[in-house]
Amino acid sequence: MRKVNILLYGEGGSGKSGSIATIFKLLAKNPNLKIRFLATEANAIGGLEDGLARLNTKLVKGQLHYMICRPRYNPKYATKQIAQDFKENYLDLSDSGASAVKIGAGDRSRHSEFISILEGLAVFKGIDYVTGEVENLGDYLQWDEDTVLVVDSLTAIVDYLVSTVKGSRSATTMKDYNDVQSNLMAKIIVPLTEQASCSVVMLGHPVIGDDQTVKQPKEEELKITKLYPKTFGQALNNTLISKFSEVIYAYVTRQDKFVWAGKKEGVATSPRRVPRADNLEPDFSKYPIFGITAD
């Protein structure tokens, strides 16, 4: 298979995790295909399992590994302390005072979520879906082109990074925006899309923002709004999209049907091998995304 970078975004419950199971339809064409699933959200594995069950997918050892990379909370950080931090760092401070709150060493230790993601990618200790055994699969930058790394999700990674940068401060500064955006690109997006040899499928959620392809100032009623993948500040939207060879929007129709959009009014997409059309079947094997199809 060829290396591709896919960004699949949509609201929760739009079938994103479940659609990953359709990649396994390509096993007949490529028996060396492997999926490694990094879950940063609690319901991600459940969605994947639902997709495997719907397709009645039968896997063997080594074809699917998953790792749940969630924050490791300190049990000493009790609910009482959480309430106290909120009061001291939000309720009792003015906006200017909140911006001036410094992040101490103790505060940083309670916001290590983003570090857990980086560590999980560096040493991927995946659970084999068939055997339940934990295997050290090493650094994802060393994986081959027959491997697909699924990251669920971009939204959680951004939220974790914001938490790491801001700590307990309530107000967001311009430096926070710069730190989040530069670290997201340098530590996650660029390595995944440009340095890794394996294919990457990143899942995420949408946010409404101004269409930044519109360069000229417009009256408020003439402004164009679009759904973009959620990042941290609109300035990153177009840069992020340019790093992915396929940007697909997933949603649920009024008939309660899961569909994809390679082109949809008011939605940011960037298809290359997925058709530029709406109401597409949410199936990776139907389109020559990886250079092959199931048919």
Give the pLDDT confidence score for residue 211 in this predicted structure.
Answer: 63
| Any domain includes 84 | yes
| Any domain includes 273 | yes
Q: Say which residues have a Cβ less than 8 Å from residue 52's Cβ, sequence separation at least 6.
A: 21, 24, 59
pLDDT tens digits, one per residue of 123-182: 999 999 999 999 999 999 999 999 999 999 999 999 999 888 887 666 677 888 899 999
| Any domain includes 295 | no
Count up the domains in the chain and report the number: 1
| Any domain includes 29 | yes
Alpha carbon distances (Å) from 44 to 12, 41, 51, 69, 111: 10, 6, 11, 11, 22
Q: What is the largest CA-CA distance in the chain?
A: 63
Give the pLDDT confidence score for residue 210 in this predicted structure.
Answer: 67
CA–CA separation, 90 and 101 (whole Å): 10
CA–CA separation, 152 and 279 (whole Å): 23
Query: Two tokens at 232?
Result: 């941290």
| Any domain includes 23 | yes
Q: Domain containing 267: what range?
A: 5-290
| Any domain includes 236 | yes
| Any domain includes 150 | yes
- The 3-class secondary structure across 280-295, one letter per residue, is ECCCHHHCHHHCCCCC
- The structure tokens 């490694």 sit at 36
| Any domain includes 78 | yes
pLDDT tens digits, one per residue of 81-107: 667 776 766 666 666 665 565 554 345
The string of DSSP codes covering 48-61 is: HHHHHHHTT----T
Give the pLDDT confidence score for residue 106 in this predicted structure.
Answer: 44
Residues of the chain with pLDDT under 70: 42, 71-79, 81-82, 86, 88-110, 168-171, 210-224
